[in-house]
């Protein structure tokens, strides 16, 4: 990118007046609404606990940028739309970002791109400190923190929770560690595993793409379920996922541990034969009244070799204008509480909402995985996940009951966080002055009021 050295920019005149733009405004920020995120962090204590997941081996007398300040700078930056550490070469002078990061004097410059890059290249907790990489992080501690934030968001133990599992592709354009070509996605990529409960992110595990979609999911489920049950021993837990997770080891573990499951089941000839009569009924209904026709049925089913037992399968025999469209799910849930049609339409189809949560991860730059090692890219994925936790908590705590209660994170960022403001520092106050023409002042006031309670 060409470096900009021009200081003034002339535009089309307005009647008799010239219109000239310049970047000479003193103490201005384009992220005035980010103070709301700071209030969210005050409620959660998130960044303080993130710092505890790291070990700083630097000599205290030589430290210019504290670990907590660098982590806050990077995580807030992602939430505000700055995906690369290169952006911080100029952002380090932003007076409001200095407030967010915790600098005592906001006009003190923050960490630059090279310092933040060394942070992102932090080795594992068990590794010996190196000359240029003396900060280490614990993946296990960050994993536990994500689940702990979810548990704290509930005042009382819920009667039932549904854990959604899914994978997505993160395209790679370099020669990163763990880079493989994936035939389905038709490019080189990583294949991270995500686990959500509603809007809450519980797991973001980076994985190479040369493996089954369900690889490693049992270990993550075992860890998360164990942490949840230590807090909520009587809560009912349901795993929900597509057919990529319909594996014997996962279903058998659920059955032994009292965890329910609802997984998509890939079609095959035996399954198609079992729904033959229902499909003919759906075809007749389609011809009679036109439009899609559905008939739901269920039966006991066992594969010839891969399953250890028979299980309940619910089928949707659907006939469309283009022909047959059968779908199958396998579940441990009983027919009394969950009849076939209600199980499929109300419970299984609701997993589609998780796709929106994964899109929000991309809006927070979870796909910026260009460092060389898997461990460094996992840390980048963690930073993106923690930025999501902040913005999601803003949505949950401050926007509940408003028109933006279900807004996507990029909408919240654009309308509520990206507010131009002037920052003025006095001996007793830091004044952040917003434009009087800002169109969403009532919503901003509502969010602020909710966070200050």
Asked if 347 and 369 sit in the same domain, the reply is no
Asked if 331 and 315 sit in the same domain, the reply is yes
Asked if 157 and 303 sit in the same domain, the reply is yes
Q: Which of 333, 361, 389 is the last residue of a domain?
A: 361
Q: Which of 319, 336, 361 is the last residue of a domain?
A: 361
Asked if 350 and 382 sit in the same domain, the reply is no
Asked if 168 and 253 sit in the same domain, the reply is yes
Range of the domain at 269: 153-361
Q: Closest Cα to residue 193, out of 167, 231, 214, 228?
A: 167
Asked if 369 and 347 sit in the same domain, the reply is no
Q: Closest Cα to residue 336, out of 301, 298, 369, 368?
A: 298
Cα–Cα distance measured from residue 231 to residue 90, given in angstroms and rounded to the nearest whole number: 44
| pTM, 2 dp | 0.92
pLDDT at 168: 95
Is 147 a domain residue? no
pLDDT at 426: 84
Cα–Cα distance measured from residue 150 to residue 154, given in angstroms and rounded to the nearest whole number: 7
Is 157 a domain residue? yes
Is 390 a domain residue? yes
User: In which element (H, E) is residue 42 found?
Assistant: helix 35-44
Instruction: Tell me the H-state helices in 364-406.
Output: 374-398
Asked if 242 and 337 sit in the same domain, the reply is yes
Is 144 a domain residue? no
Is 3 a domain residue? no
Tokens 């837990």 -> residue: 237
Cβ within 8 Å of residue 158, ≥6 positions away: 232, 235
Is 102 a domain residue? yes
Asked if 182 and 253 sit in the same domain, the reply is yes
Domain count, the chain: 2
Q: Closest Cα to residue 264, out of 326, 196, 211, 322?
A: 326
CA 137, 206, 377, 211 dihedral sign is positive
Record the tokens describing residue 376, joined without a space: 């460094």
* 360, 408 contact by CB (below 8 A): yes
Asked if 312 and 368 sit in the same domain, the reply is no
Asked if 172 and 288 sit in the same domain, the reply is yes
pLDDT at 115: 92
pLDDT at 1: 52
Is 1 a domain residue? no
Is 162 a domain residue? yes
C-alpha distances in angstroms, 269 versus 274, 299, 303, 305? 9, 15, 12, 15
Q: Which of 361, 393, 426 is the last residue of a domain?
A: 361
pLDDT at 131: 66
Asked if 84 and 15 sit in the same domain, the reply is yes
**Residue-level pLDDT, tens digit, the chain, 453 residues:** 555 566 787 888 887 878 777 776 677 889 999 999 999 999 999 999 999 999 998 898 889 999 999 999 999 999 999 999 999 999 999 989 999 999 888 788 999 999 999 999 987 665 565 666 789 999 999 999 999 999 999 989 999 999 999 999 999 999 999 999 999 999 999 999 999 999 999 999 999 999 999 999 999 999 999 999 999 999 999 999 999 999 999 999 999 999 999 999 999 999 999 999 999 999 999 999 888 999 999 999 999 999 999 999 999 999 999 999 999 999 999 999 999 999 999 999 999 999 999 999 999 999 999 999 999 999 999 999 999 999 999 999 999 999 999 999 999 999 999 999 888 888 888 898 898 899 999 999 999 999 988
Asked if 170 and 84 sit in the same domain, the reply is no
Q: Closest Cα to residue 256, out of 282, 224, 225?
A: 225
Record the tokens describing residue 129, joined without a space: 């400190």
């Amino acid at each position: 990118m060409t470096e900009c050295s021009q200081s003034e920019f002339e535009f089309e005149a307005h009647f008799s007046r010239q219109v000239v733009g310049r970047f000479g405004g003193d103490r201005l920020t384009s992220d005035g609404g980010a103070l709301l995120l700071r209030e969210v962090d005050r409620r959660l204590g998130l960044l303080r606990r993130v710092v505890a997941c790291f070990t700083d081996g630097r000599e205290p007398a030589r430290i210019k940028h504290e670990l907590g300040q660098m982590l806050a700078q990077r995580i807030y930056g992602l939430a505000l739309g700055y995906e690369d550490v290169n952006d911080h070469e100029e952002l380090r002078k932003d007076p409001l970002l200095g407030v967010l990061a915790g600098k005592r004097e906001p006009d003190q410059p923050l960490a630059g791109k090279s310092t933040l890059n060394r942070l992102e290249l932090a080795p594992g907790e068990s590794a010996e400190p190196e000359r240029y990489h003396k900060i280490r992080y614990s993946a296990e501690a960050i994993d536990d923190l994500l689940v702990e934030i979810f548990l704290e968001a509930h005042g009382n133990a819920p009667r039932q929770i549904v854990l959604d599992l899914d994978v997505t592709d993160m395209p790679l354009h370099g020669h990163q560690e763990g880079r493989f070509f994936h035939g389905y996605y038709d490019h080189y990529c990583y294949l991270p595993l995500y686990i959500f409960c509603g809007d809450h992110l519980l797991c973001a595990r980076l994985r190479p793409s040369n493996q089954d979609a369900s690889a490693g999911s049992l270990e993550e489920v075992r860890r998360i379920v164990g942490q949840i049950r230590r807090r909520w021993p009587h809560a009912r837990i349901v795993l929900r996922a597509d057919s990529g997770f319909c594996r014997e080891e996962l279903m058998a573990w659920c059955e032994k541990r009292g965890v329910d499951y609802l997984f998509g089941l890939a079609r095959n000839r035996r399954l198609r034969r079992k729904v033959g009569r229902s499909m003919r009924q759906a075809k007749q209904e389609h011809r009679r009244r036109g439009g899609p026709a559905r008939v739901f049925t269920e039966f006991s089913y066992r594969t010839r070799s891969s399953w250890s037992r028979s299980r309940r399968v619910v089928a949707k025999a659907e006939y469309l204008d283009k022909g047959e469209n059968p779908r199958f799910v396998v579940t441990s849930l009983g027919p009394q509480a969950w009849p076939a049609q209600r199980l499929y339409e109300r419970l299984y189809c609701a997993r589609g909402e998780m796709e929106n949560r994964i899109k929000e991860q991309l809006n927070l730059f979870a796909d910026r995985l260009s460092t060389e090692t898997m461990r460094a890219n996992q840390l980048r994925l963690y930073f993106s996940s923690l930025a999501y936790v902040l913005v999601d908590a803003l949505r949950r705590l401050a926007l509940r009951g408003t028109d933006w209660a279900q807004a996507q994170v990029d909408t919240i960022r654009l309308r509520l966080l990206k507010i131009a403001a002037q920052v003025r520092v006095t001996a007793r106050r830091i004044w952040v002055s917003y434009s009087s023409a800002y169109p969403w002042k009532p919503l901003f006031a509502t969010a602020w009021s909710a966070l200050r309670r």
